[in-house]
Amino acid sequence: MDIKTECINEENEEIPEKKLNDSETQPCMVKKRSDYLHWDEYFMAVAFLSAQRSKDPNSQVGACIVNEEKKIVGIGYNGMPNGCSDDTLPWARKADDDLDTKYPYVCHAEMNAILNKNSSDVKGCTIYVALFPCNECAKLIIQSGIKKIVYLSDKYHHQPNMKASRILLDMAKIKYVKFEPERKTILVDFMSIEQSTPSISKTKTFKDELV
Catalytic residue among 110, 136, 182, 209: 110
Concerning whether 17 is annotated as a catalytic residue, the answer is no
SS (H, E, C) the chain: CCHHHCCECCCCCECCHHHHCCCCCCHHHCCCCCCCCCHHHHHHHHHHHHHCCCCCCCCCCEEEEECCCCCEEEEEECECCCCCCCCCCCCCCCCCCHHHCCCCCCECHHHHHHHCCCCCCCCCCEEEEEECCCHHHHHHHHHHCCCEEEEEECCCCCCHHHHHHHHHHHHCCCEEEECCCCCCECCCCHHHHHCCCCCCCCCCEHHHHCC
Q: Which residues are catalytic?
A: 110
